[in-house]
Amino acid sequence: MFGCLVAGRLVQTDAVQVSQDKFVFNLTDYETVNHVVVFMLGTVPFPAGMGGAVYFSFPDPLSGGPVWQLLGFITNEKPSAIFKISGLKAGEGGAHPFGMMAASSVAQVGVSVEPLEQLAQQIPVSSAAVSTVDSFVQFTQKMLDSLYNFASSFAVSQAQMTPNPTETFIPSSCILKWYENFQRRMAQNPNFWKS
């Protein structure tokens, strides 16, 4: 019914059903995980009026017991979601009826099937929210950062330059000025590149 995806790992579709309406995935080496994607497989939809609250649990460093934090939810209309877990803080959250941890080094992602009205009233941990900036905009910003950093790594002063008739040199200040203008335009109107 559910799948779980972590970058650099195989997709997990082997959720353990701990009760009629609760499922968990085990995540080893959770300290290295930044984001988790939880999704429906498309084989079994939620019953009418139901959805899945998505929780993350990791061992509390003080007690060693599980600390569950609400990340968000998935529904038949929104069958997948990505959550940032690298910013979650120990000690926040509480007990939740998913059961005990398998081992002190294992975290768990839990999906609890609940009424949509209940899901709408729950408040997820704020640090689990993923940026709402358009993914193309994020890609573009990261690509431009990378381009500027790459080009800057070859920077030499005018005194260090040696004449080379086959090379064309562009002042780095020109690229920086263009990039700052691009960022300003993005801040004013994130959709300017679509026009």
pLDDT tens by residue, 65-87: 777 889 999 999 999 999 888 87
Mean pLDDT of 99-109: 66
pTM of the model: 0.64
Cα–Cα–Cα angle for 143, 145, 149, nearest 5°?
Answer: 115
For the stretch 130-165, pLDDT in tens is: 555 566 666 777 777 788 778 778 788 888 888 888
CB 50 within 8 A of CB 115: yes
Question: How far is Cα 125 from Cα 86, in angstroms, rounded to an integer?
Answer: 12
Q: How many CA atoms lie within 13 A of 151 on its CB side?
A: 15
Q: Nearest CA to 19 among 116, 114, 85, 104?
A: 114
Question: How far is Cα 1 from Cα 47, in angstroms, rounded to an integer?
Answer: 12
| pLDDT bucket at 193, cuts 50 / 70 / 90 | low
For the stretch 7-41, pLDDT in tens is: 888 999 999 998 899 999 998 888 888 889 999 99
User: Where do the H-state alpha helices sit in the chain?
Assistant: 116-121, 135-152, 172-188
Question: How far is Cα 171 from Cα 176, in angstroms, rounded to an integer?
Answer: 9
Q: Per-residue b/e over 91-125, b at no fewer than 16 CB within 10 Å?
A: eebeebebeebeeeebbbbbbbbbebeebeeeebb
Residue 159 contacts by C-beta under 8 Å, 6 or more apart in sequence? none
Strand order in the sheet with 106-115: 16-19, 22-28, 106-115, 50-59, 66-74
Q: Nearest CA to 95 among 114, 110, 117?
A: 110
Within 10 A of 72 (CB to CB), how many other CB atoms are there?
A: 20
| pLDDT bucket at 173, cuts 50 / 70 / 90 | confident
